[in-house]
Amino acid sequence: MLKTSLAGCQNCDIIKTSEYSQKCEMNGNEPIASELTNGCKADITDDSVDPHKRCHYHHKKLTFREKHFKRRASLLTVLMEKPDMRALRSFIISCFILMFIGSLLHDSIAYKNPLNHFWLVVWNFKQLPETLLVWTIMAMSTLLPYSFLKMWSTTPCKQVTLRRESPLIALYALYLLSLFCFPLVFLFKWRLNCACSFIITCENTRIAMKVHSFIRENLPRAVRMKLAAKDDTTKHESLDRFPSIAQLAYFLFCPSFIYRDEYPRNTSRNWRLVLIYFIEVLLTILCTNLVFIQMIYPRFNSVDYTKATISFMVDAIFASILPGLLCLLLLFYGLLHCWLNMFSEMLCFADRQFYVDWWNSRNMAEYYRNWNLVVHDWLYAYVYRDIAMVIGGKKGLKVAQTAVFLLSAAFHEYWFGTSLRFFYPVMFVLYFVFGGKLFTFPFVEHFSQRIIASSSALMSKSFMLSQLG
């Protein structure tokens, strides 16, 4: 990806050339999602696509769309305006209130302490202050690549080549490696518990993705500034201004992995709504705690696995499907809806389409992409598109698709394996094999489109079985 970035910068832009900008209209998430849904196909075969919205690379009829930000609300926000959805939400809340009352009564009788079941939350977050300190260091480290790129852009140079800039590429790779290694040293040295470990592993991944997007989007601009500086002219400085630290800070906290100098923003923020989202995030954590305390912990806490029979294990595993599904739904609502909308409201970020209707997905591959559009946009822009452009042709599309699913599966395994302290590659199998790679084989792709895609019941069953992991 770095090679692609620097090599293309000799023409002052890798992807967004003036010709590209004129030929391509930015269409948002829907075309991108559909483009990757059916085998990541980027060939121009659909005559219904507006020719003004196409982009042709060399002699290959391939189209790659830019991310287009626009004002739009999250899907659940729109759905919650309907009385039926509000009634369903009230019913779900009532169920968790009953679970909470049951835990209060049980703890009062058994432990003489009605809040005894909060021990799991305390255990998970007792090292939160130390974790936030490490997070602050990780966030501040983004000033290093920012400063280096800014300083590099102001250094005069007649020509920018890959060989000449290879030491800087090596330094950038070393920074990314350090961003993962040093937090992990802290994680294992302080023996962080599950939740704090997830914070460290997910945040160093998020920050690395943010930094890479910032570098990739601003490298062409930096090259133009660098080449213009050799003439001691200020002509290009008025056209190309390096992003400010304020812009970097906004990008670091806004719910997008694609850097832009400007985003569509609302004129005002509602702090009451921010507080509501924050409270809902806390409530999803407490609801997850109830699921573990009442449905998972009692079943597995006293089990002697050296003497457990196959019959017991089968019963226990299938009995865990429902609590696993509840935890997944709570994760979706708490993180992808409440948490991202909370930061959007604080930052007046107007584009809040973080997901689409993944519950209507016709196969697992489509579900994994519709589940999280924020990450999907990054994978499309900096992994799939770059690899497909470098290799070219149908082979490039297949290799790019495989790389996307492989990278996603590897990082899911990294998060869960590091945080839970054991290697159990069920996540890798679900994301790489059943979630994506399986659907690249012609027979399986044809079968999924003709049979599985026509049966939402089969999709629901496979989705629930996937919670075994």
Residues 6+ apart with CB under 8 A from 368: 408, 431, 435, 436
> Which amino acids are annotated catalytic?
412
Backbone angles phi, psi at 265, to 5 degrees: -130, 150
Residues linked to residue 389 through DSSP beta bridges, in sequence order: none
The alpha-helical segments, DSSP class H, found in 141-165 are: 143-153
CA distance linking residue 332 with residue 327, whole number of Å: 9
Contact 355, 371 (CB under 8 A): yes
Distance of CA 206 to the CA centre of its chain: 8
SS3 content of the chain, % helix, strand, coil (to 5): 70, 0, 30
Look-up of token digits 């090599």: 7
Q: What is the CA radius of gyration of the chain?
A: 24
**Pick from 266, 151, 164, 149: which is nearest to 218 by CA?**
149
Instruction: Give the count of beta carbons closer than 10 Å to the beta carbon of residue 169.
Output: 14
